[in-house]
Amino acid sequence: MSLHAKYNSVLKLGEELGVKDGHVEEDATNGVLKIGGTALTQFHKDQLWDKIKEVGGEEPADLVADIKVEITDYYHKHTVQSGESLSKIAKNYFGDPMKYQQIFDANRDILKSPDMIYPGQELTIPNV
């Protein structure tokens, strides 16, 4: 199996996430796949790294990735869906529902209470 085929799911995710200036080069002499590009947010970069680790392990020896981030002012933007709460959103992005307060603090301009969010609101997910 070629390295390109092995990491195809990573490349597809990059396309789905709209990675800009994406490039892929397979170096047959070194047995390494070189990939790179610019993800919109750190969240997208983290998603790509999670996929890389899923395919190649924690520290893949057959892949070199250079993934930059376009927007560094915040972690991501999230559009509230029906049934969500700040704690659910915090668990999704940070793995910890108690980090809801950081999301609330980053969105005080549009949120009056952490218990009152509405579908369609676009929330800033801060870097924590």
| CB-based contacts of 42-49 (< 8 A; 24+ apart in sequence) | 42/69, 42/72, 42/75, 42/76, 42/127, 43/75, 43/76, 43/93, 43/125, 44/17, 44/19, 44/69, 44/76, 45/69, 47/13, 47/17, 48/10, 48/13, 48/14, 48/17, 48/19
Nearest 10 degrees: Cα torsion 44, 37, 48, 90: -20
Residues 88 and 44 reside in one and the same domain: no
Among the candidates 26, 44, 69, a domain finishes at 69
Among the candidates 22, 44, 69, a domain finishes at 69
The CATH number of residue 117's host domain is 3.10.350.10
Residue 79: φ, ψ to 5°: -95, 120
Domain that holds residue 91: 76-125
* Cβ atoms within 10 Å of 67's Cβ, excluding its own: 18
Residues 47 and 104 reside in one and the same domain: no
Q: What per-residue confidence (pLDDT) applies to 30?
A: 86
Residues 10 and 62 reside in one and the same domain: yes
Residue of 6, 43, 45 lying closest to 22 (CA atoms): 45
Residues 30 and 62 reside in one and the same domain: yes
Handedness of CA 58, 62, 66, 67 (dihedral sign): negative
Residues 11 and 53 reside in one and the same domain: yes
Residues 21 and 44 reside in one and the same domain: yes
Give the pLDDT of the chain (128 residues) as one tens digit per residue. 789 899 999 999 999 999 999 999 998 788 899 999 999 999 999 999 999 999 999 999 999 999 999 999 999 999 999 999 999 999 999 999 999 999 999 999 999 999 999 999 999 999 98
Residues 11 and 61 reside in one and the same domain: yes
Q: What per-residue confidence (pLDDT) applies to 1?
A: 72
Q: Look at the chain and report how many structural domains it folds into.
A: 2
Residues 49 and 80 reside in one and the same domain: no
Contact by Cβ (8 Å): 39, 67:
yes
Residues 9 and 56 reside in one and the same domain: yes
Q: What per-residue confidence (pLDDT) applies to 124?
A: 98
